[in-house]
Amino acid sequence: MIAEMQIRNYSPRTISSYISSLTRLSLHYHLSPDLLSLEQFKDYLSERITADKISNSTINQAIGAWRILQCDILKREWSTFKVKRPRTHKKIPQILSPEQVQVLLSCISNIKHHALVSLAYATGMRRNEILSLRVEDIDSARNMIIVKCGKGGKQRQIPIKSSLLKILREYYKQYRPSKFLFEGYRPDMQYSPTSFRNILRKAALKSKVNKRITPHTLRHSFATHMLESGLNLKQLQLILGHNAMKTTSIYLHVADTSSIPIPDLLEIKTNETHG
């Protein structure tokens, strides 16, 4: 099953989650998962929802693993073993105002931490994408960052401004990372996700920004502020690396686009007619 997911270019994290999900299912019944019926799988999910209060994402992981097992490994018809995914309700993302972001950054004196948080906010990259960045992924000649470990293994390019490039250069001169742009206590190790969260937690306390701030809060803030600055939804989708426009469109619910200048289409048409 691992080989099948590797061939389909699943990320190591997804492979690990799917294998863990099927292992837990197997241990629950003390049977190999290929011997389990659809009803047993449904009963297992129902019990975990009731007893463990598992989230929709955990349920979806279990269903995804079940489908790969049934369809790709055992070559069975999905219609026979199909399980409907739970209905999801998109939450309005929590964001920071541009002023709150600046206050937050002003409370981070360590140049490495400042560069890390600045990069997260100014590019809207996911946490794992930032921590997986290598030094050579920064194309300073073109003012671009090449994201090579996007969701689903997809690559994309993100334009960066000279202000961010200056911050990254100052950081690089002082720390001289050799492999990953942000390294852990060993040069060949990525920076810790926990350490990233702790930087934001401490900065939030110091800045007195009364919000729970995570790397994803910075991503949400980036997306909202880009829309408010006039970036169109398709451009934002490409920068964020979303597969579907529907995912990106949630930011329309929080962005204040009232200050973006709207052209007078009738006036434009009149001018063209007279010309």
Q: Which among 151, 169, 197, 206 is annotated as catalytic?
A: 151
Q: Which among 126, 191, 220, 225 is annotated as catalytic?
A: 126
- Please say if 151 is a catalytic residue: yes
Q: Which among 113, 220, 225, 242 is annotated as catalytic?
A: 242
**How many Å apart are CA 115 and CA 135, to the nearest integer?**
13
- Please say if 126 is a catalytic residue: yes
Q: Which among 10, 18, 121, 251 is annotated as catalytic?
A: 251
Q: Which among 113, 114, 219, 220 is annotated as catalytic?
A: 219
Tokens of 47: 């019990």
Residues with catalytic roles: 126, 151, 216, 219, 242, 251
